[in-house]
Amino acid sequence: MSQTALSGLSLDELWMPFTANKAFKKAPRLVASAKGMYYTDVDGNEILDGTAGLWCVNAGHGREQIVEAIARSAATLDYAPGFNLGHPLSFQLATQLAELAPGDLDHVFFTNSGSEAIDSALKIAIAYHQARGDGQRTRFVGRQRGYHGVGFGGIAVGGIPANRNPYLPYLMPHVDHLPHTHGIAGNFFSKGQPAEGADLADALEALAQQHGGDTIAAVVVEPVAGSTGVLIPPVGYLERLRAICDAHGILLIFDEVITGFGRLGAPFAADYFGVVPDLMTVAKGITNGNVPMGAVFVRHGIHDAVVNTSTSGIEFFHGYTYSGHPLACAAGLATLEVYREEGLFARAADLAAYWQDAVHSLRDKPYVIDIRNIGLVAGIELESRPGAVGARAMDCHIDCFRTGLLIRTTADTIALSPPLIIERAQIDQVVDLLGRALQRVA
């Protein structure tokens, strides 16, 4: 980064999230603009976006329809409370989302992020069981290596030690975790869903036997675990979870903050895998990352049990100042229109085979120990340096940025999730730049 670009800019005051602040500020990487498939850094260099920003810019950057919709909303209705008041855009967006959602997930509760969506879903699960007289269902089940945001509820059901360990004494009690599905020997370098590991879902049945199935409120999983390193569910795994939940009256919550809105070549992972959850959390791609927004999709019967059995004026004491914010709703409606008009979900499905072949061509690069892919997402796992977990992948991240490619890393796994508008030539460019970086940092 040139000194000219940094002139007059202080980096001291900002405490950056999920960032090694001291290391970053010694060698900052700053972007100034974005359009289509590319960022431009403050020195004017183009950076091919291999991560859709942070898994969220599914339709590409700087989409005029979305920008114009946000501007119209800002000029017309900048803000409206969501408590005992409404505005048309929030109802319109909820209707369109309900039409897009699988099964009978036909009610939508708006939040501002995936973290808020998860905490809201946990509260909805509790409210549902209490409304039905099942107040003894106080236990939640997450999964090891699961990521469900950074709220205290999401950290409790999440399973990434670095996120949980500092706060263990303060988290919700009565939370168990299923084993993760990573590292099964027969699944290395699988293309699409791995063959082995469906039986790991039976750990939920064991917990039901241990505690009593009628004490478990819900199980929370990402259909594809993204932030922990792109863990693909084994064939039959999600189906077994659904069957066990049904057998014991346990709600199944899918965290689709990453997988929602076309990432797998279908509207949602629930559609791709043919497994409909009871609650589903979304964010990121709901507005193409333009305005923060999240949501919980709720099955018809769950909504009705909470709303219709309440004797108070307010049926569910929960919400946020910015739930259904007008600018976010405008962005969401315009984003859905772009997805429909350009057929981006089907486009992602058409590109998936080419993407798969391209990323698996990196198999023989130095220190690559596994490659995982599904839809337009991939994880390239590297062997860790002794005593320095994550260092090799971070070196690769920095090298790629300097040569014109944005990737994401988690520990020593490189995650790729490009905008759905990516072209085949750009897929080739992603793989070429990443392959060269892997050679250099080995």
Listed by start position, the domains of the chain span 3-63+343-441, 67-342
Q: Kindly report the number of other CB atoms within 10 A of residue 173's CB atom.
A: 8
DSSP assignment letter at 251: E
User: How confident is residue 1, by pLDDT bands cut at 50, 70 and 90?
Assistant: low
Average pLDDT, the chain: 97
Q: What is the mean pLDDT of residues 176-185?
A: 97
For the cut 90, the answer to whether the pLDDT of residue 34 exceeds it is yes
* Alpha-carbon span 347 to 22, nearest angstrom: 41
For the cut 90, the answer to whether the pLDDT of residue 310 exceeds it is no
For the cut 90, the answer to whether the pLDDT of residue 401 exceeds it is yes
Instruction: State how far Cα 313 lies from the chain centre.
Output: 34
- Topology agreement, domain 3-63+343-441 and domain 67-342: no
Write down the residue that tokens 């999240």 correspond to: 294
Q: Are the CB atoms for 135 and 129 separated by under 8 Å?
A: yes
Closest CA to 265 of 197, 348, 164: 348
pLDDT of 311: 82
For the cut 90, the answer to whether the pLDDT of residue 161 exceeds it is yes
pLDDT of 186: 95
User: How confident is residue 5, by pLDDT bands cut at 50, 70 and 90?
Assistant: confident
Fold of 3-63+343-441: Aspartate Aminotransferase, domain 1 (3.90.1150)
* Alpha-carbon span 270 to 233, nearest angstrom: 12
pLDDT of 262: 98
Q: Are the CB atoms for 427 and 356 separated by under 8 Å?
A: no
Question: Which are the contacts of 108, defined by CB distance < 8 A and separation ≥ 6?
Answer: 93, 94, 97, 98, 295, 296, 297, 298
In CATH terms, 67-342 corresponds, of 3.90.550.10, 3.40.640.10, 3.30.420.40, 1.10.760.10, to 3.40.640.10
User: How confident is residue 256, by pLDDT bands cut at 50, 70 and 90?
Assistant: very high
Instruction: State how far Cα 282 lies from the chain centre.
Output: 7
Edge-first strand listing for the sheet containing 377-382: 368-374, 377-382, 413-416, 408-410
For the cut 70, the answer to whether the pLDDT of residue 20 exceeds it is yes
